[in-house]
């Protein structure tokens, strides 16, 4: 078995593996947006994100598996250097007919070799049950950590599965004059970003990617931006990828909650992609995380009331550089304190 590495969409598009990978990424078990050529094309232009794709080929040349990850960093200078991490969403993807652990181990070993010197730690954010791949992860020194999520089935009963409180809040918000729309201009995206930046500065206390990512959400055919407006002003919104009439994802959401009587922007912003999915034939909505089960996490209660199924697919993690990892964690604590 051998692996091939691609670090640019154009490089992949010109290769002999482009069409096979397109077909594989769409048809393989556990296929998802973040392991597709669309994601590689989507994220490549965004500052702070350096994607790469590994494909595993059998001795006969058949595509047995793939792994698409991103080396991500925040800001510039020392901050960028100390925040370098390799994130994999929803991968690896392995052919149903292949030896899953053998293919996974091959991809993980190739990824670790590529990441050396470029990332301080690696984190897999699982979108499906990876228990059958656990031996391969363990053999490559990854550690599993439980992490929750909610998946909302999109069908004719989706509205009925909302909690009574969520239904009331949606109805009240619309009756009060709030509207859900998509951005009409860059100014709308900037207004949403400023709301999100305030949330991350005052409550989340973690670095927020540059506005380039949010402009890409607006411009790309592979993503959707839903805004909540009141009297023409952006008061909330959510952004996330969309994939093959299967899934919608919520990557970021925020709202100026409590500022306008009877209007619940975050609730409307989270219901908007589900409603869009109902109208356009999507299968499910992915909240992309609901925290560690052992920790109090207020956002989990918010997400739980949208009628989704709670799952615990967890995360796999590995530290590549312990000294820099400790310095980076200390730096984040300082950042959170001064914020």
| pLDDT given for residue 298 in this prediction | 83
Same domain, 180 and 303: yes
Domain shared by 139 and 157, yes or no: no
pLDDT band of residue 29 (cuts 50, 70, 90) is: confident
Asked if pLDDT for residue 335 goes beyond 60, the answer is no
Q: Give the integer Cα–Cα distance in Å for 171 and 165.
A: 10
Residues 201 and 118 in one domain: no
- Give the closest residue to 111 by CA, choosing from 81, 66, 72, 73: 66
CA distance 287 to 6: 29
User: What are the φ/ψ torsions at residue 287 (nearest 5 degrees)?
Assistant: -75, -10
Same domain, 157 and 293: yes
Pairing assessment for the beta strands 247-249 and 284-286 based on DSSP bridges: parallel
Question: Rounded to 5 degrees, what angle do the CA atoms 191, 192, 195 make?
Answer: 90
Tokens of 234: 């952006």
User: What CATH number is associated with residue 210?
Assistant: 3.40.630.30
Phi-psi region of 52 (alpha: psi -120 to 50; beta: other; left: phi over 0): beta
Q: What's residue 254's pLDDT?
A: 97
- Kindly state whether residues 154 and 303 are assigned to the same domain: yes
Element (H, E) at 53: strand 49-57
Same domain, 230 and 84: no
What confidence tens digit (pLDDT) does each residue in 86-134 have?
999 999 999 999 999 999 999 999 999 999 999 999 999 999 999 999 9
Residues 173 and 271 in one domain: yes
Which stretch of DSSP H or E encloses residue 164? helix 164-175
14 and 123 in a single domain? The answer is: yes
Number of domains in the chain: 2
Whether the pLDDT of residue 334 is over 80: the answer is no
pLDDT over 70 percentage in the chain: 97
What is the full DSSP assignment across 288-300?
-----TTS--HHH
pLDDT average, residue stretch 299-324: 96
User: In this structure, are 101 and 180 located in the same domain?
Assistant: no
Half-sphere exposure (Cβ direction) of 6: Cα atoms closer than 13 Å: 24
Q: Quote the crossing angle between the two packed helices 164-175 and 265-280, to the nearest 10°.
A: 100
**232 lies in the same domain as 272:** yes
Radius of gyration of the chain measured on its C-alpha atoms? 20
Please state the φ and ψ torsions of residue 174, each to the nearest 5 degrees: -70, -40
Residues 209 and 320 in one domain: no
pLDDT tens-place string over residues 243-298: 998 999 999 999 999 999 999 999 999 999 999 999 999 999 999 999 999 988 88
Q: Are 38 and 223 in contact (CB under 8 A)?
A: no
Q: Indicate whether 175 and 80 sit together in one domain.
A: no
Name residue, tokens 């964690």.
329
Supply the range of the domain harboring residue 43: 2-147+313-338
List the structure tokens of 124.
Answer: 């897999």
DSSP 59-92: TTS-EEEEEEEEEE--SSHHHHHHT-EEEEES--
Q: What burial class does residue 184 get, using C-beta atoms within 10 Å of its C-beta: 0-12 exposed, 13-18 middle, 19+ buried?
A: exposed
Q: What is the value of pTM for the model shown?
A: 0.94
Tell me the helix, strand and coil percentages in the chain, rounded to 5: 40, 25, 35
Using the predicted structure, report yes or no on whether residue 4 has a pLDDT greater than 60: yes
């Amino acid at each position: 078995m051998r692996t091939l590495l691609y670090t640019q969409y154009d490089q992949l598009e010109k290769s002999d593996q482009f069409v096979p990978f397109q077909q594989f990424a769409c048809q393989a078990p556990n296929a998802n947006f973040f392991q597709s050529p669309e994601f590689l094309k989507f994220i490549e232009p965004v500052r702070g994100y350096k994607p790469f794709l590994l494909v595993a080929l059998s001795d006969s040349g058949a595509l047995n598996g793939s792994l698409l990850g991103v080396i991500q960093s925040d800001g510039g200078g020392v901050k960028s250097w100390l925040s370098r991490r390799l994130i994999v969403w929803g991968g690896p993807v392995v052919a149903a007919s292949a030896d899953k652990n053998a293919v996974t181990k091959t991809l993980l070993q190739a990824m670790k070799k590529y990441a050396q010197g470029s990332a301080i730690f690696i984190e897999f954010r699982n979108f499906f049950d990876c228990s059958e791949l656990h031996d391969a992860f363990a053999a490559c020194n990854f550690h599993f950590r439980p992490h929750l999520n909610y998946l909302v089935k999109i069908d004719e009963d989706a509205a009925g599965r909302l909690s009574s409180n969520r239904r009331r809040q949606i109805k009240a918000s619309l009756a009060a004059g709030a509207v859900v729309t998509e951005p009409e201009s860059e100014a709308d995206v900037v207004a949403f970003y400023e709301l999100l930046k305030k949330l991350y500065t005052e409550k989340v206390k973690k670095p927020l990617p540059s506005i380039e990512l949010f402009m890409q959400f607006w411009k790309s055919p592979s993503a959707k931006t839903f805004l909540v407006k009141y009297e023409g002003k952006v008061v909330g919104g959510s952004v996330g990828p969309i994939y093959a009439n299967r899934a919608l994802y919520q990557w970021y959401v925020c709202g100026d909650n409590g500022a306008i009587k009877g209007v619940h922007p975050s609730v409307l912003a989270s219901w908007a992609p589900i409603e869009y999915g109902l109208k356009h034939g999507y299968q499910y909505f992915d909240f992309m995380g609901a925290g560690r089960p052992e920790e109090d996490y207020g956002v989990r209660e918010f997400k739980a009331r949208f009628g989704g199924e709670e799952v615990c697919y967890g995360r796999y993690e590995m530290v590549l550089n312990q000294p820099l990892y400790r310095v980076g964690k200390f730096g984040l604590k300082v950042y959170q304190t001064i914020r």
